Amino acid sequence: MSLGYLERGYLEKDELPPFPSEERLKKRAVAYIECPQPIPCSPCFESCPADAIEMKNINDPPKVDYEKCTGCMKCIRVCPGLAIFMLRLRDDGVGEVTLQYEFLPWLKKGDRVKLYNRKGEEIGEGVVNWVLPPERNDNTSLVRVEVPAELIFEVRAVKPVR
């Protein structure tokens, strides 16, 4: 078992979970969970109403059945590891990434943000087009950002443009 990600602190391409099909990504948002390590944690599994997350025991890393996932966002609201991202490809060719956000100032719809990849490198700019405000989710805000379609598997953090 290669554990290179534990030397780096981020996942390389070959360590990522399988990608949802383009067809599925176009239908509606889908949960993409970057949680490769066996740790005793199961709130995503327990919160899923569609039975789309497979977990054999509490230490088993979650696997998402992308066809069963309805994009309801229950799991991303509770993930303590901030490891879940909702991904979507819109018909107009724009990609959308929804991520958990716990920093001040809180982001609002319309805010421009810098986009960062898993290594913390700046890879572009995007626009926030929806937020779940922090007060509605125990101070973990959900932020949906419009990004270039080819970056939905890259963008993993945002910071406001000053």
Question: Which residues form the interface with other proteins (CB under 8 A)?
Answer: 3, 5-11, 34-43, 46-47, 57-59, 78-83, 102-104, 106, 116-120, 134, 138-140, 156-157, 159
C-beta of 28 vs 108, nearer to other proteins: 108
How far apart are alpha carbons 145 and 110 in whole angstroms? 9
C-beta of 19 vs 106, nearer to other proteins: 106
Question: Residue 139 Cβ, how far from other proteins at the closest point, in Å?
Answer: 5
Phi, psi dihedrals of residue 20, rounded to the nearest 5° = -65, 155
C-beta of 49 vs 93, nearer to other proteins: 49
How far apart are alpha carbons 34 and 100 in whole angstroms? 13
Question: Residue 153 Cβ, how far from other proteins at the closest point, in Å?
Answer: 13
How far apart are alpha carbons 84 and 59 in whole angstroms? 17
Question: Residue 66 Cβ, how far from other proteins at the closest point, in Å?
Answer: 20
Instruction: Identify the bridge partners of residue 112 per DSSP, sorted by sequence position.
Output: 127
C-beta of 27 vs 72, nearer to other proteins: 72
Which SS3 state, helix, strand or coil, does residue 154 take? Answer: coil
Instruction: Identify the bridge partners of residue 97 per DSSP, sorted by sequence position.
Output: 87, 145
Question: Residue 23 Cβ, how far from other proteins at the closest point, in Å?
Answer: 28
What are the distances in angstroms from CA 150 to CA 40, 51, 90?
33, 29, 12
Which SS3 state, helix, strand or coil, does residue 10 take? Answer: coil
Question: Residue 93 Cβ, how far from other proteins at the closest point, in Å?
Answer: 25
C-beta of 89 vs 100, nearer to other proteins: 100
